[in-house]
Amino acid sequence: MTLIKNKPLLRFPEFKSTWKENKISEIFERVVNPVDVDKTKKYQEIGIRSHGKGIFHKEQKLGVEIGNKRVFWVKENTFIVNIVFAWEQAVAKTTENEVGLIASHRFPMYEPIKNVLDLGFILYFFLRKKGKYVLELASPGGAGRNKTLGQKVFADTEITIPKFQEQAKIARFLNRLDSRINLIDKKLKKLKAYKIGVRRKIFSKELRFKDVYGNEFPDWKKMRIGDVLDYEQPTKYLVSNKDYNKKYNTPVLTAGKKFILGYTKETDGIFIDNLPTIIFDDFTTAFHFVDFPFKAKSSAMKMLIPKGENVNMKFMYEAMKSLRFPIAQHKRFWISEYQNQIILYPNSEEQQKISDFFLDIDNSIQNLSDQLTKSKKFKKGLLQKMFV
């Protein structure tokens, strides 16, 4: 054990001592509890996801299906690693949920030495960039199955850690932050699921709004989308320079999953006069609602615009999201098929109420998304500053 002068950039004020280098073998004890497999009994193995995404449980199988593979009983509260993908941070902490399950020889388990190593601390250590580097150094070879963790090299690797009490406080603090992140994430997922459910009810007319006097709105009419929406071709709005940078003002959009590809310094040919719009990919039928100026990336993208004055584009976006439109081949869909899809179409006042309702939900979703992003960024900064 070698004394060094390293200290983290950020630490709790009551801790002053210098962090020390320790070999992995000095802070962990290897856990080995082999299974005497009974061919007639059922067993359930575990796996570990890469990038610190935790343990998953596989389907049960009979012992005869396990064959001659070496397997071991999982012990709770151990550090466990997938040696094949350790370099991708396939590491985790076992819990009581894994008691009675088994792991193959590719998943060695390590128990922290009492009052020397905190399990939560060491897991956070290996989920950092430097922790990934340590795992990569102990995993020589090429990518995939040839890049396997060398367990002897891993055991002899030295890492820098503080005393146990400081480890434990760091782990508790980061765990509380993770709990907050998980709570925000759950709220976000529930709100997105709620939006999908309530959209289905609105566009099946199971749920209806009333006017300001509490009266029912007129019944909805059946309309072709093409009778409500027109389109502009993207030609004059296409970006010519791919030198994107966040310091520039104008976003470059695609109708696909990526949505914002980057930001351009180009000032000509910006789509601004017919906002809000729906950008629509003619080949995939993917689309997004857009209420800010932008440049376009793809020549296959159409900008959908209203026909007439009483068309609410947010309502039309949600109406289109309620449609099921299977794609069987690669072709341009707007003119040939999509514009002929039938939607139920209310009057302008009810459109506005539906639009406002979904905009409120979208604002809540965006607020939660922003909180989640900020919390993850805050955690990333702490992982950089609270460790050596």
- Count Cβ atoms below 10 Å from residue 38 Cβ, excluding itself: 12
In a domain, 329, yes or no: yes
In a domain, 307, yes or no: yes
- φ, ψ for residue 94, nearest 5 deg: -80, 150
Query: How confident is the model at residue 5, as a pLDDT?
Result: 53
Q: How far apart are CA 375 and CA 369, in angstroms?
A: 10
pLDDT tens column, 288-302: 999 999 999 999 999
More confident residue, 6 or 358: 358
In a domain, 93, yes or no: yes
Pair 11, 26: CB distance under 8 Å:
no
Q: How far apart are CA 303 and CA 238, in angstroms?
A: 12
Pair 373, 199: CB distance under 8 Å:
no
Pair 135, 79: CB distance under 8 Å:
no
Query: Which amino acid does the sequence have at 331?
Result: K
Q: How far apart are CA 296 and CA 101, in angstroms?
A: 52
Q: How far apart are CA 130 and CA 134, in angstroms?
A: 6
Pair 358, 314: CB distance under 8 Å:
yes
183 in the same domain as 138: no
307 in the same domain as 287: yes
In a domain, 230, yes or no: yes
CA 65 to each of CA 73, 106, 153: distance values in angstroms, whole numbers, following the listed order: 17, 17, 33
pLDDT tens column, 21-48: 999 999 999 999 999 999 999 999 999 9
70 in the same domain as 24: yes
CATH number of 258's domain: 3.90.220.20
User: Which segments of 41-128 does DSSP mark as H helices, in order?
Assistant: 63-66, 119-126
The overall average pLDDT reported for the chain is 94
pLDDT tens column, 161-181: 999 999 999 999 999 999 999
H or E, element range at 23: strand 20-23
- Please tell me whether residue 73 adopts helix, strand or coil conformation: strand
Q: Which residues are paired to 62 by β-bridges?
A: 42
44 in the same domain as 27: yes
- Structural domains of the chain, count: 3
Token pair in block for residue 339: 């514009």
Q: How far apart are CA 342 and CA 227, in angstroms?
A: 10
H or E, element range at 91: strand 91-93
pLDDT tens column, 258-281: 999 999 999 999 999 999 999 999
Query: How confident is the model at residue 142, as a pLDDT?
Result: 67
158-161: strand order across its sheet: 2-3, 20-23, 158-161
366 in the same domain as 288: no
316 in the same domain as 245: yes
194 in the same domain as 64: no
Pair 198, 207: CB distance under 8 Å:
yes
241 in the same domain as 130: no
Confidence of residue 355 (pLDDT cuts 50, 70, 90): very high
User: Which segments of 204-311 does DSSP mark as H helices, in order?
Assistant: 225-228
**Alpha-carbon radius of gyration of the chain:** 28
In a domain, 7, yes or no: no
Quick one: which of 87, 118, 174, 220 has its CA closest to 386? 174
86 in the same domain as 148: yes
Pair 301, 282: CB distance under 8 Å:
yes
Burial class (CB in 10 A: 0-12, 13-18, 19+), 240: exposed
In a domain, 365, yes or no: yes
115 in the same domain as 178: no
Pair 71, 45: CB distance under 8 Å:
yes
Residues of the domain holding 197:
172-213+347-383
pLDDT tens column, 101-156: 999 999 999 999 999 999 999 999 999 999 999 999 999 876 555 789 999 999 99
